[in-house]
Structure 1
């Protein structure tokens, strides 16, 4: 009996390992660059005294417009399903790009949201709608902003200011992730954020062999 048990384990382990590693297409590959050198937001107004930039950061970028209800719903989903898992990673940031007329309401909302999340770590920028549109269009995605500078899609921008995404077997190229869709955030976006963070950790370890895991 023991012999058959050992043989069964030896047979099952390789199959289990294969299924684990094959379960996510992007798990151990670089996340594709879909658009190079997107426009930066370093000249935009901010909710602090610090300038905000994509350079040298891994950024989750959102264009959530001036409708406070959209801002509330989408940031809550995104924060609970993605952001709160990664706030402790160096150089990771959430950049929320909003019209200037949303500033007062958004500031009040962020302050109240601090009670249940790490909203103090959100990087919020404000600009006129035409400037926001310039940044959005530089991403070169199939998505669009509405008249309130709103899109439900959120994007991953790397340290070189390149837009990252995935070549999905079912949907083709995914430029952004729908913040209204909890399943998409839980699965595809969460997987891709893990990939890009691992990519930079591996690059850092390669350049600095003494860097701890």
Structure 2
């Protein structure tokens, strides 16, 4: 019985992943790059459990929460339901919320409120820093939007494994020029209709690259065996 269940999972899981990725309606197989080689999270910034948090080698949804953590809990709920719940199964995907020091208890409250409806919360991360450092870090991305007086914004951005800021740039499927550097967490529609699509694309992009690398390694291994056989004839 167990063997049949394992075989069923091996058959169904790839189909499920394919269907997930194939539903993306964006006009490109690759998500455009807005800016390259951006700043990493400073190593001295501390996570909710005093852990180090980094974006390198992760696909990151990066947000700037500000001091109104509890007041903006609806934004977290939207982001959690529309984005995190759909992609939490990917080990290289994470949500990183930059927060001013002093809001640790509020951040933990948000985690505690989301956990019962989400389950796995390891991909949800809060990182804490001084307000001036947060402003400098935000400014380094040269975004059109600005942080408010509480050092926060409802907008989040997508950062890839190489610290490139990704978004929409160029013509869409209708041939209309578009530019989208961030996604509004206040708007469930913005997250559902656009960000969900874009996260699918970037995850698919890395999965295709990984598959290609595996095939290339197999080809190299096969060629090496063939060469050794020929030399030993």
Structure 1 residue 32, shift from structure 2 partner: 0.8
Maintained 8 Å contact 2:32/2:166: yes
Q: 2:157 aligns with which of 117, 131, 155?
A: 155
Q: 1:190 aligns with which of 193, 196, 213?
A: 196
Alignment CA distance shift 1:139-1:171 (3 Å): farther
Separation (CA, whole Å) in 1 of partners of 2:92 and 2:202: 12
Cα deviation, 1:66-93, whole Å, max 9, x if unaligned, reads 1133441111000101111001112100
Trace 1:50-65 onto structure 2 (pairs within 5 A). 50-65=51-66
The residue aligned with 2:39 is: 39
Alignment CA distance shift 1:109-1:184 (3 Å): closer
Trace 1:1-213 onto structure 2 (pairs within 5 A). 24-26=25-27, 28-43=28-43, 44-117=45-118, 118-167=120-169, 169=172, 172-209=178-215
Separation (CA, whole Å) in 2 of partners of 1:70 and 1:37: 33
Separation (CA, whole Å) in 1 of partners of 2:152 and 2:100: 9
What TM-score comes out, normalization by structure 2 length? 0.75
Alignment CA distance shift 1:180-1:112 (3 Å): closer
Maintained 8 Å contact 1:38/1:135: no
Unaligned 5+ residue runs, structure 1? 1-20
What TM-score comes out, normalization by structure 1 length? 0.82
Q: What is the number of residues matched between the two proteins? A: 190
Separation (CA, whole Å) in 1 of partners of 2:177 and 2:148: 23
Structure 1 residue 158, shift from structure 2 partner: 0.2
Greater shift in the superposed pair: 55-64 or 161-170? 161-170
Measured on the aligned residues, the alpha-carbon RMSD in Å equals 2.2
Unaligned 5+ residue runs, structure 2? 1-21, 218-233
Maintained 8 Å contact 1:65/1:71: no
Maintained 8 Å contact 1:110/1:120: no
Maintained 8 Å contact 1:56/1:91: yes
Runs of 4+ in 1 over 6 A off after TM superposition: none
Maintained 8 Å contact 2:70/2:106: no
Alignment CA distance shift 1:183-1:171 (3 Å): farther
